[in-house]
Amino acid sequence: MPMGHTATAQAGSGGLTATEHRLANGLRVVLSEDHLTPVAAVCLWYDVGSRHEVKGRTGLAHLFEHLMFQGSAQVKGNGHFELVQGAGGSLNGTTSFERTNYFETMPAHQVELALWLEADRMGSLLSALDEESMENQRDVVKNERRQRYDNVPYGTAFEKLTALAYPEGHPYHHTPIGSMADLDAATLEDARAFFRTYYAPNNAVISVVGDIDPEQTLAWIEKYFGSIPSHDGKQPPRDGTLPDIIGQELREEIREEVPARALMAAYRLPHDGTREADAADLALTVLGGGESSRLHNRLVRRDRTAVAAGFGLLRLSGAPSLGWLDVKTSAGVEVPDIERAVDEELARFAAEGPTPEEMERAQAQLEREWLDRLGTVAGRADELCRYAVLFGDPQLALTAVQRVLDITAQEVQAAAKARLRPDNRAVLVYEPTHAADEAGAADDTTTTTAAGETAAQEGADK
202 binds other proteins (CB under 8 A): no
Residues 48-80 as b or e (16 or more Cβ within 10 Å = b):
bbbbbbeeebbbbbbbbbbbbbbbbeebeeebb
Given the rule CB under 8 A, which of 53-61, 105-113, 382-390, 413-421 is the region that contacts other proteins? Answer: 105-113
Identify which of residues 151 and 248 has a Cβ nearer to other proteins in the complex: 151
Is residue 352 a contact residue for other proteins (CB under 8 A)?
no
Q: Does 254 bind other proteins (CB under 8 A)?
A: no
Of 182-190, 218-226, 318-326, 402-410, the segment contacting other proteins by CB under 8 A is 218-226
Q: At residue 128, what is the residue type?
A: A
Q: Please give the residues from 122 up to 141 whose contact with other proteins meets the rule CB under 8 A.
A: 123-127, 135-141
Shortest Cβ 351–other proteins spacing (Å): 21
Residues 395-434 that bind other proteins (CB under 8 A): none
Of 261, 361, 419, 425, the one binding other proteins (CB under 8 A) is 361
- What is the Cα 187 distance to its own chain's centre? 26
CA distance 107 to 40: 6
* # residues contacting other proteins (CB under 8 A): 108
Binding status of residue 162 toward other proteins by CB under 8 A: no
Give the per-residue contact string, 54-73, with other proteins (x = CB under 8 A; - = no).
-------------------x
Tell me how far, at minimum, the Cβ of 52 lies from other proteins, in Å: 16
Is 443 an interacting residue with respect to other proteins (CB under 8 A)?
Answer: yes
- Distance, in Å, from the CA atom of 128 to the CA atom of 120, rounded to the nearest integer, reads 11
Within 16-55, the residues that bind other proteins by CB under 8 A are: 34, 36-39
Strand ordering across the sheet containing 90-95: 19-22, 28-33, 204-210, 39-46, 100-107, 90-95, 454-455
Report the C-alpha gap between 376 and 390 in whole angstroms.
Answer: 21
The DSSP result for 342-384, as a single string, is HHHHHHHHHHH---HHHHHHHHHHHHHHHHHHHTSHHHHHHHH
Whole-angstrom distance, CA of residue 408 vs CA of residue 255: 42
| Residue pair 384/30 in contact by the 8 Å Cβ criterion | yes
Binding flag, residue 328, other proteins (CB under 8 A) = yes
User: C-beta of 415: minimal distance to other proteins in Å?
Assistant: 20
292 in contact with other proteins (CB under 8 A): yes
* Three-class DSSP category at 129: coil
Nearest CB to other proteins, comparing residues 148 and 170: 148
Choosing from 20, 65, 98, 104, which is the catalytic residue?
Answer: 65
Q: How far is CA 196 from CA 67, 109, 192, 201, 203, in A?
A: 14, 32, 6, 11, 11
Task: Give the H/E segment covering residue 307.
Answer: strand 306-314
Q: For 297, which DSSP code? A: I
Q: Is residue 76 close enough to count as binding other proteins by CB under 8 A?
A: no
Alpha-helical (H) ranges within 59-200 are 60-67, 79-86, 111-124, 131-145, 157-165, 180-185, 188-198
Is 436 near other proteins (CB under 8 A)?
yes
CB 328 to other proteins: min, Å:
7
Nearer to other proteins, 98 or 383 (CB): 383
Query: Is 98 near other proteins (CB under 8 A)?
Result: no
Q: Among this protein's residues, is 65 annotated catalytic?
A: yes
d(CA 118, CA 206): 10
Q: Which stretch binds other proteins (CB under 8 A): 47-55, 341-349, 363-371, 385-393?
A: 363-371
Q: Which stretch binds other proteins (CB under 8 A): 164-172, 296-304, 385-393, 406-414?
A: 296-304
| Residues contacting 3, CB < 8 A, separation 6+ | 21
Nearer to other proteins, 284 or 390 (CB): 284
Catalytic residue positions, numbered: 65
